[in-house]
Amino acid sequence: MKTFFVWVTFFVLYIHYSEQLQNLLNTDLHTCIKCLCHARTGCYRRTNCADYSINETYWRRAGYPTLPGDNPNSGQSYRNCMRDENCIVNTIVGYTNNFNNLDCNCDGVYDCRDMLKLHLYGEQCGDKVDDDRVRRFNNCASQNRLASMSSNELCRVAAQ
Instruction: List the pLDDT tens digit at each of the 160 positions of the chain.
Output: 554 443 434 444 444 444 468 999 999 999 999 999 999 999 888 888 899 899 999 999 999 999 999 999 888 999 999 999 999 999 999 999 999 999 998 899 999 999 999 999 999 898 788 999 999 999 999 999 999 998 777 675 544 4
pLDDT at 47: 85
Q: Strand locations in the chain, DSSP E?
A: none
pLDDT at 20: 67
pLDDT at 49: 87
pLDDT at 16: 43
pTM for this structure?
Answer: 0.83
Cβ within 8 Å of residue 143, ≥6 positions away:
none
pLDDT at 91: 96
Instruction: Please state the φ and ψ torsions of residue 58, each to the nearest 5 degrees.
Output: -60, -50
- Residue 146 is classified by DSSP as -
In 3D, which of 62, 41, 42 has the Cα closest to residue 50? 41
Domain boundary assignment for the chain: 2-99+131-140
